[in-house]
Amino acid sequence: MTIQQLFLGIDCGTQGTKAVILDASSGEVLGQGGGPHTLISAANGRREQDTAQWLQALALATRQALLDANVDGQAILGIGVSGQQHGLVLLDDQGQVLRPAKLWCDTETSAENQRLLAHLGGETGSLERLGVVIAPGYTVSKLLWTKEQHPAIFSRIARILLPHDYLNFWLTGRSCSECGDASGTGYFNVRTRQWDLQLLRDIDPTGRLQSALPELIDAHQPVGTILPAIAEHLGINPGALVSSGGGDNMMGAIGTGNIQPGAITMSLGSSGTVYAYSDLPKVSPEASVATFCSSSGGWLPLICTMNLTNATGAIRELFDLDLDQFNQLVEQAPIGAEGVSMLPFFNGERVPALPHASGSLHGLTTSNLTQANLCRAVVEGTTFGLRYGLDLLRQNGLQSRSICLIGGGSKSAVWRQIVADIMNTPVICTEQSEAAALGAAIQAAWCTSWSNGHEHTLADLCQRCVKLDLSSETLPIAAHVAAFQQVYERYQQHVATL
């Protein structure tokens, strides 16, 4: 009998925190848990969260997962943390949080982002200097916004952390970051894997921001050992190593085995993302493609849409539908929803780049205005945004033999078929839909293996722990592909008018 090697993977997302317990010896996920978060929202695009909720949700999710796995927390060897990207957490010199965290989906700082983009020399200048085009939602504009809107808070900044960095700091007392998540800050050069210190000095000549930066570590390096008081609070082994962790997309890549070229991961979460592994920083000339670093040593060209299950969720709430009822209605309506088109840009949109857009409905008549068509139109509209992004990645030379689908939306068979048909590519899910939490646990195992003298490579661990759900495999249907192509062209025409 093989001895269990237990690792805890945490994913702090927009809607909640998930935890999984992974046995890296057998590759099995033994238990999982979760805890909810709420958003602080305002009509001006503000999207923030109270970081205390993250800590409560992490503790709740961890205890649930341990209970579900029926294992002793003292057997946990390591912890990996995945976090929503781009968020800004500011701490004072006592390590206390100065204000609610501004999130990836916050567009309140769009004006600051525009000014910073102009300062960098526009999209071309930003690409040349950083390897990415800074977008509304990236961390850098949040810093400028804080300086201008909250000068008293700005003057007390001692640490600038991303959400996953903050959770690592809470777990270990150490302030550091890794290149994958750092890529989405807007003050990090993805080609050289270094902070752009000059850009921070341009925002604040005093050097305060520069001195508040976390130390950069490699993806296979541990942040440190869990603090004794936190270990006790969570009911976990006080000797557990905390790995570098990373952004949710980087951890989702590991959790789907997307660590070599050829695979594409598509996440149907609050936001939609499409990404693929690359050995080289092949920076796309297209502003919407973010060539982030991966958390496995390479790069992760990525597109992100701002509206996915938050948009389908809004329609479900409007009609008071549960998931099954919603999916049945989507299935009842024909491809193209009898002419009803939705541009589901409720949060503004990043791909296509329309930060100030709002949601809109087109093509309504007295005969096609039905619940089923509206449900269908929101799923099609969000999926077309991902198709738009996938086409950009394909233009940059990425192969897409198959798509690995993750996130809440991937559990819907009707949505899987729509994705396969719109992308004209076979789709398959992993057994573990919480791919980011699984990826964080796998990375923790890899990190622990490094500190034990390399017993397992990341590829070994992914091969053992990432399992495809063969029953979910969905192939495109030729007649659907042709029909969707026409509907997609209609969507593109509506987008063009914006």
Q: Which residue has the higher pLDDT, 448 or 456?
A: 448
d(CA 254, CA 22): 14
- Dihedral sign, Cα of residue 134, residue 138, residue 143, residue 145: positive
List, in order, residues 6 or more apart from 96 with CB less than 8 Å away.
none
Check pLDDT > 90 for residue 435. yes
Q: Identify which of 381, 301, 385 has the alpha carbon closest to the alpha carbon of residue 337.
A: 381
Instruction: Decide: 233 and 59 in contact? Cβ < 8 Å.
Output: yes
Q: Which of 248, 322, 324, 421 is catalytic?
A: 248
AA letter at 452:
N
Domain count, the chain: 1
Confidence band for 1, pLDDT divided at 50, 70 and 90: low
Is the residue at 356 inside a domain?
Answer: no
Q: What is the CATH number of the domain that holds 64?
A: 3.30.420.40
Q: What residue type is 407 in one-letter code?
A: G
Nearest to 386 by CA among 375, 394, 397: 394
The predicted-structure confidence for 143-172, as pLDDT tens digits, reads as follows 999 999 999 999 999 999 999 999 999 999
- DSSP letter (8 states) at residue 30: E
Amino acid at 134: I
**CB atoms near residue 377 (< 10 Å):** 29
- 151 domain residue, yes or no: yes
8 A C-beta contact, residue 30 and residue 22: yes
Structural domain boundaries, residue 15: 6-248
Answer yes or no: is 190 within a domain. yes
Amino acid of residue 72: D
Where residue 40 falls among pLDDT bands split at 50, 70, 90? very high
Whether 322 is in a domain gets the answer: no
**Exposure b/e, 145-157, CB count within 10 A at least 16 = b:** bbbeeeeeebeeb
As a whole number, mean pLDDT of residues 12-30 equals 97
The letter for the amino acid at 113 is N
Decide if 104 is inside a domain. Answer: yes
- Report which of residues 270 and 180 the model is more confident about: 180
* Nearest by Cα to 213 from 257, 169, 268, 262: 169
Quick check: pTM over 0.85? yes
- Counting residues of the chain whose pLDDT is more than 90, the rounded percentage is 89
> Does residue 267 sit within a domain?
no
Report the pLDDT value the prediction gives residue 439, as an integer from 0 to 100: 98
Q: Is residue 199 part of a domain?
A: yes
CA–CA dist 430, 359 (Å, integer): 31
**Mean pLDDT for the stretch of residues 54-73:** 98
Q: Which amino acid is at 128?
A: E
The DSSP result for 340-361, as a single string, is -EEE--BTBBTTTTBTT---EE
Per-residue pLDDT tens digits for 209-240: 999 999 999 999 999 999 999 999 999 999 99
Q: Give strand ranges (E) for 370-467.
A: 402-406, 427-430
> Residue 420, Cα to own-chain centre: how many angstroms?
21
Instruction: Between 348 and 436, name the one with better pLDDT.
Output: 436
- Structural domain contains residue 259: no
pLDDT in tens, 281-292: 888 888 899 999
**Tell me: the pLDDT tens digits for 341-383?**
999 999 889 888 888 899 999 999 999 999 999 999 999 999 9
**396 — pLDDT class (breaks 50, 70, 90):** confident
Pull the structure tokens for residue 58.
């992490």
Per the annotation, the verdict on 72 as an active-site residue is: no
Q: Cα dihedral angle (345, 348, 350, 353), rounded to 10 degrees?
A: 90
Q: Are 203 and 143 in contact (CB under 8 A)?
A: yes
3-state helix, strand, coil in the chain (%, to 5): 40, 25, 35
Distances (CA, A) of 96 to 52, 233, 419, 467, 490: 11, 19, 44, 40, 50
Mean pLDDT (the chain) is 95
Of 107-121, 280-294, 418-432, least confident by mean pLDDT is 280-294
pLDDT band at residue 125 using 50, 70 and 90 as cut-offs: very high
Q: Pick from 479, 301, 467: which is nearest to 389 by CA? A: 301
